[in-house]
Amino acid sequence: MSAPLLQARGLEIRFGGVVAADGVDLDVIEGENLAIIGPNGAGKTTFLNISTGYLKPLAGTVTFLGQDITRLPPRAITRLGIARAFQIPQLFLEQTVMENMMIAAAARSGETSGWRRLLDRPEREEMLRLLDSVGVAAFAERRAHELPEGQRKLVDIALALALKPRLLLMDEPTSGVASSEKMGVMDILVAALAREKVSSVFVEHDMDMVERYAHRVAVWSSGRIQTVGPPAQVLGDPEVRQRVIGI
Amino acid sequence: MQAPAQTSGSGLRLAIVLGLVALAAIVPILLPSWATLITLVAAKGVVVLGVIILLQAGQVSFGHAMYFAVGAYAVAFWGRHMGPGDLILYLLLGSAAATLFGAVIGLFVVRYREIFFGMLNLAFSMVLWSLLEKLYHYTNGADGIRVVRPTIAGIAFQPETFQYALLYVTLVIAVVASYVAQRYLDSPLGHMLRAIKSNETRLEYLGVSARRVLLIGYVLSAFLCGLGGALVAVAQQIATPEFGYWTKSGEFVFIAILGGSSSALGAFAGSAVFEIVRFYAAAKLANTWQLILGVVLIAIIMFAPNGLVGILNRNRRNAEARR
Amino acid sequence: MDSTIFILALLDGVSYAALVFLVSVGLSLIFSVLRIVNVAHGSLYAYGAYVAATLSLAVAPISPWLTFPALLVASVAVGVVVGGVMERFLLRPVYGREDVLQLLITFAVFMIMDNLQRLIWGVQPIFASTPLKLLPNVSVLGVSYTSYQVILLPAVALLTVLGLRYFLRHTLAGAVILAVTEDREAATAIGVDARRVFLVTFMIGASLAALGGALASPTTSLVPGMGADMIVLSFAVAATAGLGQIEGAAVTALMIGIARAFVIYLQPEFEVLVPYLIMVLVLLIRPMGLFGVDKVRKI
Amino acid sequence: MKGALRPALGAAALALALTAAPAFAQDKPAQIKIGITTFLSGPASVFGVPGKAAAEMIAEDINKKGGIGGVPVALTFVDEGAGGEALVSNYRRMVQDEKVDATFAAISSGSCTQLVPIAEDLKVMNFMWDCGAASILEARKHRYNFRTQANATPEMLAVLVYLLKTKPDFKTIAVVNQDYAWGRESWEIFSTALKAMKPDVKVVAELFPKFGAPDFSTEISRLMALKPDVVLTTSWGGDLDTLVRQAGQRGLLQQTTFVLGIGESSMQRLGADLPEGLIVGARGDHWFLHPERKNDAAFKAFNDAFKAKTGAWPIYPVYHMYQAFSALQASYDKAIKANGGKWPTREQVIDAAGGTEFQTWGRPVTLRADDNQGLEAQIVGVTKSAPGYDFKVLDNMMVFDAKPITTPGGQKSIEWLKTLTPDFAKMNVPTFKHGQ
């Protein structure tokens, strides 16, 4: 096994009286798609928030490629190569989808021109291809707020991918996507991740998804990681089934 | 400031702009007193352009008159201590002083958003205003400082011709400033600025420092306010603390919304309507000019959410739809 | 600094703070519920003063003591009528639109009210000091004070703090207002009529501004433009305290009032700067205000 | 760029067509057009609105009598309260489009500072009808601008001399002035002269509350604790009313000698709230019961007409407005005479204006040829109750001749004031009792 890409050790955080993380250890290995599952409100999203610097843990550390990123702000962590897609899509609603993408492209290249036109940048083709690869190229010239929820979700992921990250963190990547299209979208997404050599962590409630796309599954419950392992093994565990999935 | 999807009529827009500039340049030849009025309209339009830039980021400053005043006073102080100068020097001074000021205050205020951003700007501007009033021995207090008529590019104009020279310089500046502002808003930095309005979180998650982006926009807007302030001071031949009072800041935001905060054209359309209404009302309807402006603004907000420019665009779209 | 100055400045500061508090707490209350900074708040203060003066001049010949209820009647009338019209017909149509539009509506109302005030009451200063003269003077350290200013005004302010506290914490209507303040969607979901809450809150806030004006009217000349300064000052107090903080506004008003009084005694040149400097310093250190609470956005 | 200009252009062209008169200089014009700037909004409208009423009344009267040199006058007003941009634009519009023959600008020194150079640029005769800043005419020589009244220097000096004559032994003084140019400049003049004429007086407090402040309680407390012999204030309008009432209510007016530098304009409003014994100045020899004029039937008729029109007796801006018209009439009459009875050109009127003496509702005023400064007498008195009036009137009035108390031509006021000596206060000034 290669060295972990992202390593969390002893994370602790609480909100008011609620303990969301109480000594969480978790590794993300280069090249894998790691799913996090667990009951509602268990703190799965909190893990994404801590790993990206949006929340600071009370104790514990997160290291990425050997560097301690626990106290860094989101933008610094993003620049190190961790991108994030959100449960509720976070887009620039008043701008067109292409403009959204080009902002990401400009951000990736560290562009700070106040003169050259954004849309004249060379990455336009690349961004269009990226949009095409998640199936929303047709919306490129539409303003983001005009898109249906499912398409926004895809653009949200495309925005993260546009950064060419090493690691992509996703929060229920297909929630909001019509159920008939979920598998198709995930197929495309996972293929893209593999092609671009991007590792990923995704929080998920849909066990079919987890079973089909995750290399490993971590079960988050009562503020701790209860088990980590291959989907077949973890999802087969009766205790997990009862506590997490409620079957 | 419009997305490319909607700028199909950009040729038409250019024609309208050129037509209006030509009109602004020719009218005063027939009506001499309009030279100063149009100069003021264009100069304040430049200021409002600065306010509009911040509105793109969703931030409303109720204190931007402070940069307007800084620009004006920079010119006035020069005239007072160094004697008359050249217009080009005045404009450089005014805009440089405002830029510097904006950079320093900007470092503090870009940490705040929305109402807190507005309030902090207001607070800073009120401190400046109090100082302009208080430091009577340096600023002449409420009477203000006279601004001596400058030369323009080394040429000393007679009073009759000076107002035209100033008008044409101001029109050129207005056009250039609009173009620069437009280019800025179309650039990556400009788009990032607009992104602050709709989703600052995502911007940070693209690895961009929203504060830095906002600071650049803030400084640019301070620059434009200072430039406009210097022009107004020269046109009015005076700088007074009133330039920096909170109602002046409110007036700039007012004009921006009146004209339509989504385009450079809006800044000038709003400024023209505002100044002309006030110009006529101060003479003909002295008792009711504020009333009229207030009602006009409410009507615009209620019935024409995109300002005067919005009305223009809507009419054009309707006309195209009928064709 | 000797103790005489200390005591005198304290008294002056308290009576000044009482009026400023009344106006700023109204502003703060409106903001906490409607999320609107009411620029026309200063105009409501001015109208409260003008209507109170008109009313007391009318009733004073009947009995001078009637002027006290007249002040109260005037402030409620202004708050309900002007505040009600403003909320119902001007603000309600723009809820949900950009914040700046709501702010500008109130700015436009400020211009209109300022103008109407001149048309209604003219430009000559108006003075109606009957209530001030009815109450005796009190002497402190050889300096004569009006009991109206050093006793009545602070008492009214204190009653307002206690009254608002009781209203918000111990009555159903207050609980409903607080619920809307906390979470508008949730409150609406459990059947609260948010629109009515907005209307009532706006009227209460407006009445408080008008009350400030009405209480100020016996002590000061009513002149065109008197509202414009009050709005910035009350704004400074509300912001320094943290918008929506009632007790906080009281403490901050006292702080600014007393600081101002001391500055007049010791370094009068800096009087106007005091509230704004305090506001800048506080906001730079605590953007949410002295008593405000920070909120983290959920993503 | 300026979408709204097109319709506005039409309106402007129309306005021009309606108002533009043929500009044949030497022909007798149809009317003499006068552009007047005055405060119609904001706190200073306490002066501006009476000033406007006076202008309308006076113009009507002039026209009834056949106009100036047989030509009627027509007035245009601009609101000084609408802000600097509107003021400058409208001033230019009046001069350039409406082609007014003369302007009366302005009330505030700030407006004057702004408009005086423009009048020079546009070569239009301007009478500074009410603004008092001494420095404007002292900075440089003007051709087109005249001041048809005094300035802050003689106004303050008269008040100071009155104080020194009536209360020669005071040791301490405090000042409460509005914090803006007038409040500052008037105190600078007063204190400079005081230092020169009575160096042993100690200034115990210099208070400059904000312009338009609604409350002076703290200032009053401080003054009550300090107990100065004299308190000076040059405040006006609502500020002065508030200060006097708050100070009166708390006994400060009774404890110390109050000097109201320009209190004449507030006396009617303050009514019974103004106690006896306060020293009051009038920005000129303005008093509707002027001791030297009060038996003049025309004076009485003027005052009665103004009272009938507005409900109040005239205050100083009303008399200042009259002076501007009187100066205009005198200048035109002089120019017509010099031109052999033919209608004069604008430049000829300007030539005539310098050195003109004209009648006023006080002593005559001269436009000093050196610097176009008006030489105007000053009245200072003390408040007193009098039967027949529901407000205090002036008693023990001194009428100061203009010349001795006005800065000599070509000198700067502050420098000149420094050269004064204690003997200056010993000048001979006639004193009049009320009703005498």
- Cβ-based contacts of B198 with chain A (< 8 Å): 91-95, 144
Report the number of distinct structural domains present in chain B. 1
Residue in D48, D218, D246 nearest the CB of C264: D218
CA distance B288 to chain C (A): 6
- At C247, which CATH number? 1.10.3470
* A2 pLDDT higher than 70: no
State chain C's mean pLDDT as an integer.
Answer: 85
The per-residue pLDDT for range C74-124, each reduced to its tens digit, is 999 999 999 999 999 998 888 878 777 888 899 899 989 988 988 898 877
| Nearest-Cα residue of chain D relative to residue B31 | D97
What confidence tier does B2 reach under pLDDT thresholds 50, 70, 90? very low
- Cβ-based contacts of A103 with chain B (< 8 Å): 188, 191-192, 195, 203, 206, 208
Partner-chain contact C276 B297, CB within 8 Å: no
Q: Angle D234-D237-D240 (CA atoms, 0-180°, nearest 5)?
A: 50
Chains A and C in direct contact, meaning 3 or more beta-carbon pairs closer than 8 angstroms: yes
* D407 pLDDT higher than 50: yes
pLDDT for D24 equals: 42
- Cβ-based contacts of C230 with chain B (< 8 Å): none
Categorise residue D283: left if φ over 0, alpha if ψ from -120 to 50, beta otherwise.
left
What confidence tier does B3 reach under pLDDT thresholds 50, 70, 90? very low
pLDDT for B6 equals: 40
What confidence tier does A228 reach under pLDDT thresholds 50, 70, 90? confident
Partner-chain contact A107 B192, CB within 8 Å: yes
What confidence tier does B147 reach under pLDDT thresholds 50, 70, 90? confident
Which residue would you say has higher pLDDT here, B76 or A39? B76
Is C295 a domain residue?
no
User: What average pLDDT does this structure show over B277-302?
Assistant: 79
* A1 pLDDT higher than 80: no
Is C297 a domain residue?
no
Of B179, B168, B209, B172, which Cα lies nearest the Cα of B192? B209
pLDDT for A151 equals: 85
Residue B188 structural domain: 28-245
- Cβ-based contacts of D206 with chain C (< 8 Å): 268
Q: Angle D339-D344-D347 (CA atoms, 0-180°, nearest 5)?
A: 110
Domains of chain D in start order, with CATH, are 5-150+298-372 (3.40.50.2300), 153-282+377-432 (3.40.50.2300)
Report the number of distinct structural domains present in chain C. 1
pLDDT for B95 equals: 95
Partner-chain contact B116 C288, CB within 8 Å: yes
Radius of gyration of chain C (CA): 19
Percent share of chain D, pLDDT over 90: 67
Is C291 a domain residue?
no
Of B267, B181, B262, which Cα lies nearest the Cα of D4? B267
The letter for the amino acid at A36 is I
CA distance B203 to chain D (A): 33
pLDDT for A220 equals: 85
The per-residue pLDDT for range D100-129, each reduced to its tens digit, is 999 999 898 888 888 998 999 899 999 999
User: What average pLDDT does this structure show over B56-71?
Assistant: 93
Q: What is the 3-state secondary structure of C24-38?
A: HHHHHHHHHHHCCCC
Quickly list DSSP for C34-100: H----TTHHHHHHHHHHHHHHHHHHHTTT-GGGHHHHHHHHHHHHIIIIIHHIIIIIIGGGTTS-HH
User: Where are chain A's structural domains?
Assistant: 1-79+201-247
Q: How many residues are recorded in chain D?
A: 436
Partner-chain contact C108 B293, CB within 8 Å: yes
State chain D's mean pLDDT as an integer.
Answer: 88
pLDDT for A244 equals: 67
- Residue D52: which residues within 8 A CB-CB, separation 6 or more? D36, D38, D40, D77
- Cβ-based contacts of B131 with chain C (< 8 Å): 273
User: What average pLDDT does this structure show over B100-107?
Assistant: 95
Dig out the tokens for B131 from the structure: 């100082």
Is C294 a domain residue?
no
The per-residue pLDDT for range D123-160, each reduced to its tens digit, is 999 999 999 888 888 878 899 999 999 999 999 999 99
| Nearest-Cα residue of chain B relative to residue C285 | B108
Dig out the tokens for A162 from the structure: 């546009």
User: What average pLDDT does this structure show over D25-47?
Assistant: 85
Per CB distance under 8 Å, which residues of B are interface residues toward C? Answer: 55, 58, 60, 108, 111-112, 114-116, 118-120, 122-124, 126-127, 130-131, 133-134, 201, 246-247, 250, 253-254, 257, 287-291, 293-295, 297-298, 301-302, 305
> ω into residue B210 within 30 of 0, thus cis?
no
What confidence tier does D430 reach under pLDDT thresholds 50, 70, 90? very high
What confidence tier does D382 reach under pLDDT thresholds 50, 70, 90? very high
Residue C263 structural domain: 3-285
Are D128 and D136 in contact by the 8 Å Cβ rule? The answer is yes
Interface probe, candidates D38, D47, D187, D222, chain C, greatest C C-beta count within 10 A: D222
DSSP 8-state assignment for residue C243: T
pLDDT for C172 equals: 87
Dig out the tokens for B129 from the structure: 């205003």
pLDDT for B9 equals: 54
* D336 pLDDT higher than 50: yes
pLDDT for D287 equals: 94
pLDDT for D5 equals: 39
pLDDT for B321 equals: 55
Partner-chain contact D82 B282, CB within 8 Å: yes
Kindly report the number of other CB atoms within 10 A of residue A194's CB atom: 12
Kindly report the number of other CB atoms within 10 A of residue C185's CB atom: 8
The per-residue pLDDT for range B238-255, each reduced to its tens digit, is 888 889 988 899 889 989
C2 touches D: beta carbon within 8 Å: no
User: What average pLDDT does this structure show over D169-175?
Assistant: 95
Give φ, ψ of B304 to 5 degrees: -135, 75
For residue D171, CA distances in Å to C170, D206, D230 come to 61, 15, 8
The letter for the amino acid at B36 is T
- Cβ-based contacts of B191 with chain A (< 8 Å): 92, 95, 99, 102-103, 106, 118
The letter for the amino acid at D357 is E
| Integer Cα distance of D374 and D364 in angstroms | 10
pLDDT for B316 equals: 62
CA distance D407 to chain B (A): 21
* B1 pLDDT higher than 70: no
State chain B's mean pLDDT as an integer.
Answer: 85
Relative to beta strand D125-128, strand D145-147 is parallel
Is B319 a domain residue?
no
Residue B155 pairs in a beta bridge with B152
* B258 pLDDT higher than 90: no
CA distance C187 to chain A (A): 22
The per-residue pLDDT for range A146-170, each reduced to its tens digit, is 888 888 888 998 999 999 999 999 9
* C252 pLDDT higher than 60: yes
Is B179 a domain residue?
yes
The per-residue pLDDT for range A86-143, each reduced to its tens digit, is 888 899 988 999 999 999 999 998 877 788 888 888 888 999 988 888 888 888 888 9
pLDDT for D16 equals: 42
User: What average pLDDT does this structure show over A22-51?
Assistant: 85
pLDDT for D349 equals: 94
* B191 pLDDT higher than 70: yes
Q: What is the ipTM of this complex?
A: 0.80
Most confident of B138-152, B273-287, D34-48, D412-426: D412-426
Is B85 a domain residue?
yes
Are D271 and D391 in contact by the 8 Å Cβ rule? The answer is yes
The per-residue pLDDT for range C142-185, each reduced to its tens digit, is 888 888 888 899 999 999 999 998 998 888 888 888 888 877 77
User: Which spans in chain C are helix H?
Assistant: 3-34, 41-59, 67-78, 84-85, 99-121, 130-134, 147, 153-170, 172-182, 184-189, 194-216, 226-241, 246-266, 273-285
Categorise residue D145: left if φ over 0, alpha if ψ from -120 to 50, beta otherwise.
beta
User: What average pLDDT does this structure show over C34-58?
Assistant: 91
Pick the CATH number of A1-79+201-247 from 3.40.50.2300, 3.40.50.300, 3.50.4.10, 1.20.120.80: 3.40.50.300
Residue in A113, A116, A141 nearest the CB of B5: A141
Could you tell me the end-to-end alpha-carbon distance of chain B, in angstroms, rounded to an integer?
Answer: 26
- Residue C5: which residues within 8 A CB-CB, separation 6 or more? C265, C266, D225
B134 touches A: beta carbon within 8 Å: no
Partner-chain contact D2 B20, CB within 8 Å: yes
* D86 pLDDT higher than 80: no
Window 146-185 of C: residues touching D by CB (8 A cutoff) are 146, 149
pLDDT for B104 equals: 95
User: Which spans in A54-137 are helix H?
Assistant: 74-80, 97-108, 124-133
